[in-house]
Amino acid sequence: MNRIQSLGLLAALLLLILPLAACTQTGEALENDDAKGEAADAKPKDPEARAGEEKELVPVEVATLDRGPIEAVLRFSTNLEAENEVQVFSQASRLVTELLVEEGDRVERGQLLLRLQDEEQRSNLARNEQQLNKALREYERQKRLYAQELISEQAFNDATYEVEQLQLAVADARRELSYTEVRAPIRGTITNRLVNLGDHVTVNQHLFDIVDFDSIVARVFVPEREMSRLRIGQPARLYSDSLGADPRRGRVLRIAPVVDPKSGTIKTTVAIPGNQGLLPGMYVEVELVTDVHQQALLVPKRAVVYDGDQSYVFRLVEGDGDEPPAVERLRIEPLLEDRDFIEPAPGVLEAGDVVVIAGQAGLKDGTRVRLISGVPAAGDETSEDAA
């Protein structure tokens, strides 16, 4: 074999070997790429990728349902009144010589409040009493003489008439003197003083206001359709912004026996024993408790959303595996409700269910959510981190 033939054979062998090597390298590269892809799939997502997915979830606040007591109530607004409240007026025209009470003072019935100038009335009474005593002595003398038939019947009648007239004069003088003393007609508290020491008051001038704070009541007007829910002694609660969140307690004292034909309501009077810091004129909200369920399922009112006249809640549903939780939209039928909770008709929700109480605006049936507070779903790390 000459040199030219040897070179040709070598070139042919190279042409056969190079494609085989290229195929081998290509196969290995593909195998490496597949392995890298599988490794990438098996590798946990980096925090940035997971954070991006979490941003797509709707943030919500949730609460777990429990059982407890709930009351059915009728609610009204009114201003408090005192049933025993009087205005005190002057019965004489005189100067005020003594002022014995001030606003805020508690007084008893018959207690002296002020005294007017009374010298003239006292003098008049003393004069009439003196004349009466004289006339009585004369009457006794005339009576003895008449019994002995020593005087005429007319003389005896004149003596009797004189005594009767002077007795009337003494009674009038005592009444006029009593008008110089202004006394409390009821037991209560002086709420308004309209006179000063040294003032000259006139007849029928307004002097004081007295209120019995133990007689404070709330009058509410209950629609006729609710009449069957009313009863004497029914418990009531009263709320006032000026007294904080704690209610004051009362009871239904009276229920009017008639329906007002103009308003279609029944006047109902609620008594408030012991005053409890309430004042006449104070604006209050009144709740009449008409029914109580001791073991009701309590759904927070914050959880309820309304669509027309229908009520709905969003209940939390756990996701499969690492999937975030979702919500389902459920219609409920309220039975009883108070200020904070609703008792739904049975068959839809149960104690232990977790419902959304904030963030419902962005939800629909099946929406995936992220918990920001409340009771986290089992295995939900996001809610724990956020908390």
CA-based angle 272:246:238, to the nearest 5?
A: 35
Supply the pLDDT for residue 231. Answer: 94
Superfamily for domain range 74-83+215-293? Efflux pump adaptor protein, beta barrel domain (2.40.30.170)
Two domains, one topology: 74-83+215-293 and 87-116+182-211: no
Supply the pLDDT for residue 378. Answer: 40
Go through the chain and tell me how many residues it has.
Answer: 387
Fold entry, domain 119-179 = Helix Hairpins (1.10.287)
Residues with Cβ within 8 Å of residue 333, at least 6 apart in sequence: 311, 344, 345, 348
Supply the pLDDT for residue 164. Answer: 94
Give the position of tokens 């006292």: 122
Supply the pLDDT for residue 377. Answer: 42
Supply the pLDDT for residue 337. Answer: 86
Tokens at 111, concatenated: 């207690």
For residue 298, the number of C-alpha atoms closer than 13 Å in the C-beta half-sphere is 18
Fold entry, domain 87-116+182-211 = OB fold (Dihydrolipoamide Acetyltransferase, E2P) (2.40.50)
Q: pTM for this structure?
A: 0.62
CB atoms within 10 A of CB 99: 17
Residues with Cβ within 8 Å of residue 250, at least 6 apart in sequence: 218, 235, 236, 237, 238, 270, 271, 272, 273, 286
Q: Where are the domains of the chain?
A: 52-68+294-386, 74-83+215-293, 87-116+182-211, 119-179
Supply the pLDDT for residue 387. Answer: 36
* CA–CA dist 104, 115 (Å, integer): 19
* CA–CA dist 236, 69 (Å, integer): 16
Encode the chain (387 residues) as per-residue pLDDT tens digits: 555 455 455 455 555 555 444 444 544 544 555 544 444 444 555 555 555 555 589 999 999 999 999 988 899 999 999 999 999 999 999 999 999 999 999 999 999 999 999 999 899 999 999 999 999 999 999 899 989 888 899 998 999 999 999 999 999 999 999 999 999 999 999 999 999 999 999 999 999 999 999 999 999 999 999 999 999 999 999 999 988 889 999 999 999 999 999 999 999 999 998 878 899 999 999 999 998 999 999 999 999 999 999 999 999 998 888 889 999 999 999 999 888 999 999 999 999 999 999 999 889 999 999 998 655 444 444 344 433
Q: Which residues pair with 41 in a beta bridge?
A: none
CATH of domain 52-68+294-386: 2.40.420.20
Q: Which residues pair with 114 in a beta bridge?
A: 99, 182
